[in-house]
Amino acid sequence: MSHENRGEPILIIDDDEQIRGLLKDLLSPTHDCTAVGSAEEALAILDSINFHLVISDINMGGISGLDLVPRILERTPDTVVVMISGQQTIDFAIEAMRAGAFDYITKPLDLRHVETAVKRALAHHQLLTQKRLYENHLEELIKERTAKIEHLAYHDALTDLPNRVLFEDRCTQALAIAQRNQHLVAVMLVSIDRFKKVTESLGHAAGDVVLTEAAARLQRCVSNGDTVARFEGDEFALLLTNISETADLVETARTISDVFKAPFRLGVQDVYVSTSIGISLFPFNGPESSTILRNAVAAQYRAKKQGGNNYQFYAADMNALAVKRLELETSMRRAIENEEFVSHYQPVVNLASGELVGSEALVRWQHPELGLLPPGRFIGLAEDTGLILDIGEFVLRQACSRTKVWQGRGFAGLRIAVNISARHFQQKNFSERLVEILGQTRLDPTCLELELTETSIMENKDGAVRVLSQARKLGVKVAIDDFGTGYSSLSYLKNLPIDTVKLDRSFVMGATTDPDDAALVMAIVTLAHNLRLRVIAEGVETADQLAFLRRLRCDEAQGYLFGKPMAPEVFESSMPMDPRRKIHALANSRHQQVDSPATTVHE
């Protein structure tokens, strides 16, 4: 007998005491044997002991062995039964097997046959047990997997919050109850402001940390019975059912704003974000969940349009704004294919000589229905959708090509400045695309200047330094646009690979009327020159502003005094054609005052 079968419980049933004793003596040294004289005694024992093997006579007084087998298997399905009988015919063996027996032994007993049968039976029991364990494990695994799949179908994988499907279902149920009980229900859509900047600067893993922590903070802002869900991206939704008045919603919105004031810890770096919240209230803003949700989206869109970090209740005209934005996005995608975007060019003038030294390319959208749209109407949307990449590359290529043509027509060395989105230089292949465009347009790299805002550079300073350094190695110039409106830190200028500082028009506008603005302009020009940077003043509109900037020895300027952004044909026809290319504004007094108010000067 094998060692692994030692101690396995065996029940011996036979009304012949001699047979019982013989089997017990044979098997007891290696097994835990129990012997009884009838099926009735066996059934009493089977209620308390689980035997691996039962060896039973067929013919006994009272319940027969054949009747006993199904009762044993009903109690313990994995028990193996071996029948004993003095009948030698095959019919009895077949009948025993049909009753559920595993094997059949005839009398008189051959002890070697008995040992072999017992060994086979116990091995079969082990197989049955393993099969049962496997089936049970498989069943549990299926239950767990099924539960997990069902959970994932209704919950967000990252935050484990309810997803949109579950939120909309709960919203429908809450509105039905509220309608019966005449209660208020509110939906709040919460979007994390500038979340894309976090992922673009620090990666998606950092974004996941912010989203997970944001989910935890939002859950602290609601009562028991309310729902916090994550829809997609940086958008969360709150279903608030314990509302008595709108003041409760204001309080919740302020609580959300407060909990987001604390920094998000990302390794050794702290990140600060705010929220834009749209609020829609049942029954005032819609009769069913789909309308309530749609109106919350419209309210949130207004909160974002107002600069973020605020909350807005739904108003009836918001849906029209949301629909208009969607229509604009759709037509923008079509506009890229149809090449509806065009560049206008604004002259840049050397203030010492009055010479036209370059221009800035400013994108416009020649919309087939709405006419010529300024960038303020679509750049924000292009940034949000990622379409700015295609638009920006188109403008860059177009501007380089146009400038090369002008250089061939007598304006050798004419520079072109092109605004670049932060998304562009965050692309891994930006430098390669830049080389390709310069090669295709045959423009000298030293005649191209890339303009970026302070904010776009400082959001990912390391990445910006790397990419801008690569551009400068090509000979391309780099300028900080709208200087003073972003981080307004002069100290970082010496650490950035830049050539030019463009002084924001708001400082230029007040330089001749506000002593503080004048002092700021003087400080910026002086520091920039000390760092060997060129200074270009934007938004120059009056002769007084021009005279002030020339006294400070500001290098260059652009603005309505010299010319507004013009279509390429108009710009070319207005170029001064004398050998020194002097701009007319410095020589002709009728151009020294511009009637356009400062508020109309936009790129």
Each residue's pLDDT tens digit, 66-81: 999 999 999 999 999 9
Whether residue 353 is predicted with pLDDT greater than 80 in this model: the reply is yes
Is pLDDT of 367 > 60?
A: yes
Helix (H) / strand (E) containing 53: strand 53-57
Phi, psi for 275 (deg, rounded to 5): -130, 150
Average pLDDT over the chain reads 87
- To the nearest 10°, report the CA torsion of 260, 265, 271, 277: -20
Q: Are 37 and 20 contacting, i.e. CB atoms less than 8 angstroms apart?
A: yes
Residue 595 has pLDDT above 50, yes or no: no
Q: Could you give phi then psi for residue 450, rounded to 5 degrees?
A: -95, 130
459: confidence class by pLDDT, cuts 50, 70, 90: low
User: 448 has which bridge partners?
Assistant: 416
- What pLDDT, on the 0 to 100 scale, is given for residue 517? 86
Span 516-533, average pLDDT: 90
State the pLDDT confidence band at 587, using cuts at 50, 70 and 90.
very low
Residue 318 pLDDT: 59
The percentage of the chain sitting over the pLDDT mark of 70, rounded to a whole number, equals: 91
Cis peptide preceding 108, ω within 30 of 0: yes
- Structural contact between residues 335 and 367, judged by C-beta atoms closer than 8 angstroms: yes
pLDDT of 601 over the 80 cut: no
- For the cut 60, the answer to whether the pLDDT of residue 158 exceeds it is yes
Smallest Cα–Cα separation from 430: which of 389, 400, 379, 487? 389
Average pLDDT estimate for 145-154: 84
Q: Pull the structure tokens for residue 478.
A: 């780099």
Q: Which two tokens stand for residue 395?
A: 């403008």
- Of 160-169, 307-316, 563-572, least confident by mean pLDDT is 307-316
CB 530 within 8 A of CB 501: no
Whether the Cβ atoms of residue 533 and residue 553 lie closer than 8 Å to each other = no
pLDDT at 359 (0 to 100) = 95
Q: From 201, 200, 275, select the one nearest 237 (Cα to Cα).
A: 275
Residues in the chain: 603
Q: Is the pLDDT of residue 441 over 50?
A: yes
Backbone angles phi, psi at 482, to 5 degrees: 55, 40
Which structure tokens are listed for 114?
A: 């008995």
pLDDT at 123: 94
Categorize the per-residue pLDDT at 306 as very low, low, confident or very high, splitting at 50, 70 and 90: confident
Question: What average pLDDT does this structure show over 335-351?
Answer: 93
Q: What angle do CA 590, 344, 327 make, to 5 degrees?
A: 130
- For residue 364, is it left (φ>0), alpha (ψ between -120 and 50) or beta? beta
Q: Give the integer Cα–Cα distance in Å for 334 and 340.
A: 9
What confidence tens digit (pLDDT) does each residue in 179-235 have? 888 889 999 999 999 898 888 888 889 999 999 999 999 999 998 889 999 998 899
β-pairing verdict for 264-266 and 269-271: antiparallel
295, pLDDT greater than 70? yes
Residues contacting residue 33 through CB under 8 Å, at least 6 positions apart = 9, 10, 11, 12, 23, 24, 27
| pLDDT for residue 1 | 34
The b/e string for 441-476 (b: 16+ C-beta within 10 A; e otherwise) is bebbbebbbbbbbbebbbbbeebbeebbebbbeeeb
For 521, what's the count of Cα atoms within 13 Å in the CB-facing half-sphere? Answer: 29
- Which ranges of 386-533 would DSSP assign to H, the alpha helix? 388-408, 422-425, 430-441, 454-458, 461-473, 505-510, 515-530
Rounded mean pLDDT, 260-276: 90
Q: What are phi and psi of 27, to 5 degrees?
A: -100, -20
Beta strands in 226-370 (DSSP E): 227-230, 235-243, 264-266, 269-271, 275-282, 310-313, 341-350, 356-367
Residues 73 and 58: their CA atoms lie apart, in Å, by 16
Give the residue carrying structure tokens 């790397």. 466
d(CA 261, CA 275): 10
Alpha-carbon gap, residue 188 to 206, rounded angstroms = 25
Instruction: Between 348 and 485, name the one with better pLDDT.
Output: 348
**Contact call for residues 453 and 504 (beta carbons, < 8 A):** no
φ and ψ of 348, to 5 deg = -120, 130
> pLDDT-derived band of residue 599, with 50, 70 and 90 as boundaries?
very low
In tens, the pLDDT along 466-517 reads 888 899 999 999 998 877 665 545 566 777 889 999 998 888 988 888 888 8
What average pLDDT score do residues 36-62 get? 91
User: What is the maximum span of the chain, computed from C-alpha positions, in angstroms?
Assistant: 137
Whether pTM > 0.85 for this model: the answer is no
**Between the CA atoms of 564, 568, 571 and 577, what dihedral angle is there, to the nearest 10 degrees?**
160
Q: What is the pLDDT of residues 369-424, one digit of tens each?
A: 889 999 988 888 888 778 898 999 999 999 999 999 999 988 888 999 999 887 77
The pLDDT assigned to 278 comes to 94
What long-range pairs does 401-407 form, CB within 8 A, spacing at least 24? 401/441, 401/443, 402/343, 402/345, 402/361, 402/568, 403/359, 403/443, 403/447, 403/448, 404/441, 404/442, 404/443, 406/572, 406/575, 407/443, 407/447
The pLDDT of residue 23: 94
* pLDDT score for 598: 34
- Percent of the chain scoring above 90 in pLDDT: 53
Going by pLDDT thresholds of 50, 70 and 90, the confidence category of residue 54 is very high
Which range has the worst mean pLDDT, 93-97, 127-131, 310-314, 528-532?
93-97
